[in-house]
Structure 1
C-alpha cells in the first residue's frame, strides 16, 4: 500500500513533535496565551498523526469490527482536521493584537464552522459526501471532499493574508516566521491531496510548527515572559554590540524608563493588577516607537529602549511621543491606576569610549534627576 511507504514520515514527525512538546511544556511560560496556543497546535498535530495512522491500519482488513474502526477513525479525522488550521488562525491573531478578548471572539466564530464541518462529516457516513467506506472496507474520497479541503485551505490562506495586511502591527522578528508557516503546511497538504495515499500533510504541519518554534517560541529564552519584550541578558549583548559598532558618524540612543509608583499599584490592587500595569507600560512604548526599536525589561519596573538615533531632536521627539501616549492612556483607560514614567535618555558618545555599565550609570543618573523633579512637583 502506497501509504505504508510514506508512513515513516508521519512517525518521524511525531517523534520530533514529542521533543518540541516536552521542551515547551516544561517551561514556566506555558501559562501565557501564546505558549498555550502553541502547545494546542502541537497536540492537534500529534493527535491527527495518530488518528490518520489508525485509519489506514484498518483500511481493507476483513471483518465488521475492522470496517467500523476504519469508518470511525476516518470520521474522527474529518472532524479534527480543521482544528489545526483554526488554531493557527487564533495564534496569528494573538501575535498581531495581543488581545485575549479578541481571541475569544475569533474562537467562537471558528467553532461554528468546525461544528458545521463535523455535522457534514457525520452525515457522510450515510451520504458519502466527504468520504465513504465500501463493503470491502476500502476508504474512498467523497463527491464533496474538495469542500472539506477548500475549507482547511481557506483558513491557511486567510491567516497568510491577515498577517500580510497587518504587518505594521507585528514585530519584525516575528513577521516573516508567521508568513513562512503557510508554505510547508500548504505544500504537504497539496501533495497529499493530489497524490492519493501519501501522508505528507502532517510532515508539512510539523515543519511549519518547527519554523514557529525556532523563530518565535524558542526566543522566549531571550524575552521577558510577562511582557514579551527582551530580557536583561539579551539587552546586554545587544548594547555591547551597538557600542562595538559605533563610530563618529554612527551611534545610538538609549532611554531608561522607570514605572512610577509600581510598588503602590501592587500593594493597593494586588500583583495581578501590577502585572497588568507592566503590560500596559509596554503597550504604550510599542505604540510610541518604531517596530525595529529595541525594548527590554531592565528590572522589576524598569525598561530600556535602544534606538538607531544619533540626533538629539529625534530622540526628544520619541520621548515626547511616549509622554503623549501616557496622557492619552490615562484619559481613556478604565483601569484603577494611572501610568507614569520617569525617563533618563541620551545619545551614546563614541568619543567617550564609555563601557556598558558606565553609559547606563550616566542615563540612570538622568532618570533619577527626572524622578526627583517629578516628586518635587507633586509635593
Structure 2
C-alpha cells in the first residue's frame, strides 16, 4: 500500500472518530435511565474503538520488525472479535425500541452474546489456524479461507434485525421506523465494498454514518420532543418562546394558546392510563389538524399543551379557536370512544409594549385558560 493510500484511510478514520466523539459528548446530557440511550452510547464507544484499531492495523501492516508484527496481529484480532458487536448491539437497540421490556429481552441478549462469543472464539483460533485471517512472516495481512464465515455471522444479525423491524412495523413509532430500517445500509455498503475490493476501508466510516442517522432522527429527537405525543417538550417550548419574545417589535409579534384537556383524571380513573394516553394523542391530532403545519405545539404539562402561532390579530386568533372547537365537536360525534374530549383554552396576542418575559406570558395565558374553564363549567 502506498503512503498516499494509507494517509487517505487514516484521514477518513480520524474524521469519523471526531464525529463519534461529538455524538458521544452530547449523549452524556441525555436520559441515562433509558436502556436505549445506554445501548446507543455503547455502540458509539465500540465504533470509536474500532476506528482506532482499524487505523493501527493499516499502519502496522507490511512494516518490518517484531513490534510492528505484534501490533498488526493484535489490531486485526481486536477488529475481528469486535466487528460483530455493533450489529449485535443494534439488534438489542431495535428490540428495546419495539418491546420496551427488559425482562422479555433475555433470549435476545443470550442469542446476541452467543454469536459474539462464537465469532470471538473463531477469531482467537485464527491466530494459529488462519481461518479468518493470517499475518505472514513479512508482516502482511491476508484473509483466511473461512473469512466468509465471519462476514456471514455479521450479516445474519443485520438481516434478522431488518426483518424484525419489518414484521413489527406497527409497533414502532412512525417517526423512528425509517431511521431504524435505514441504519445498517451505510455500513452494509461500506463493508460490501471493503469485502469486494481489498485495500479500501469503509466499514467503520459506514457505521459512523449509520449512527448519525439514528442520532439526528431518534436520539436527538428525544431531547426535543415529548415521547408519548410526539410534539415538542417543555424544554424546547421555553427556548422557542424566549426566541419569539426577543424577536418581537411594534410591527411583528405572535400569539399563543394554552390548551387544557378537561376531566383527564376521570378518563384515567374510569378507563385506565392507556386510554388516557390515547386521549392525549387524539388531542394532539386535533390540534395539528386545526393549525397550520408550521405551527409550534408543545406539551406544557400532564394534560396541557401550548401552541405558538405567527398571528398578530386577536380576530384571526379567535377564528383558530373556533376551528379547534368545531373539530373537537365533530370528533366527539364520530369517534365512538368511551370518552369525550373537552378543551379549555386561554389565548392572547403577545403585547410588545408589555416587555413580559416567558414566565409572565405563560402565567397570563394560564390565567385566561382558567377563566374560560370556569365559564365552561
Same fold (TM over 0.5): yes
Whether the 8 Å contact between 1:185 and 1:205 is mirrored in structure 2 is yes
After superposition, the Cα gap between the structure-2 partners of 1:288 and 1:28, relative to the gap in structure 1 and judged at 3 Å, is closer
Of stretches 352-361 and 126-135 in structure 1, the one that deviates more from structure 2 is 352-361
Q: Deviations over 1:264-319 (max 9, x none)?
A: xxxxxxxxxxxxxxxx94696259968x94897532x446699x993646446768
Partner residue in 2 for 1:365: 373
Q: Distance in 2 between matches of 1:34 and 1:258?
A: 30
Unaligned runs of 5+ in 2: 241-253, 289-296, 308-323, 350-361
Deviations 1:181-210 (A, max 9, x none): 122111111111111121111111101111
Alignment of 1:79 onto 2:71: no
| SS of the residue 2:208 aligns to | helix
User: 1 or 2 for the larger relative contact order (CA 8 Å, sep ≥6)?
Assistant: 1
TM-score under structure 1 normalisation?
0.69
* Residue number in structure 2 paired with 1:167: 169
Alignment of 1:17 onto 2:20: yes
Question: Does the Cα contact within 8 Å between 1:6 and 1:198 map onto a contact in 2?
Answer: yes
Cα offset, 1:141, TM superposition: 0.5
- Residues in 2 aligned to 1:38 and 1:283: alpha-carbon distance in whole angstroms: 31
Preserved contact between residue 60 and residue 138 of structure 1 (Cα < 8 Å): yes
1:333-354 per-residue CA deviation (whole Å, 9 max, x = no partner) reads xxxxxxxxxx852599xxx998
Aligned to 1:206: 208
Alpha-carbon RMSD: 4.2
Q: 1:320 aligns with which of 325, 337, 343?
A: 337
SS, match of residue 29 in structure 1: coil
Residue in 2 that maps onto 1:63: 65
Change (3 A) 1:197 1:100: same
Q: Which runs of structure 2 are paired with 1:1-379 in the superposition (5 Å)?
A: 1=1, 2-25=5-28, 27-224=29-226, 230-232=232-234, 255=261, 258-259=264-265, 281=273, 285=277, 293=285, 297-299=299-301, 301-302=302-303, 310=327, 312=329, 314-315=331-332, 320=337, 345-346=342-343, 357=365, 361=369, 365=373
1:71-91 Cα distance to aligned partner (Å, 9 max, x none): 122111111110011111111
Q: Could you tell which deviates more after superposition, 13-22 or 182-191?
A: 182-191
The separation in 2 between residues aligned to 1:203 and 1:83, in whole angstroms, is: 16
Distance 2:45 2:208 in 1: 11
Following superposition, the deviation at residue 257 of structure 1 comes to: 6.5
TM-score (structure 2 length as normaliser): 0.69
Aligned length: 315
How much does 1:134 deviate? 0.9
CA contact (8 A) 2:56 2:75 kept: yes
Deviations 1:203-230 (A, max 9, x none): 1110111111111111123224799874
Structure 1 runs not aligned, ≥5 long: 238-243, 245-252, 263-279, 324-342, 370-379
Give 1:326's aligned residue. none
Higher Cα Rg: structure 1 or 2?
2
Kept in 2, the 8 Å contact 1:131–1:141? The answer is yes
Output the CA distance in 2 between the equivalents of 1:159 and 1:305.
38
Q: Distance in 2 between matches of 1:283 and 1:43?
A: 39
- Within 2, Cα distance between the matches of 1:126 and 1:163? 39
Alpha carbons of structure 1 residues 192 and 259: separation in structure 2 relative to 1, 3 Å: farther
Which deviates the most, 226-235 or 196-205? 226-235
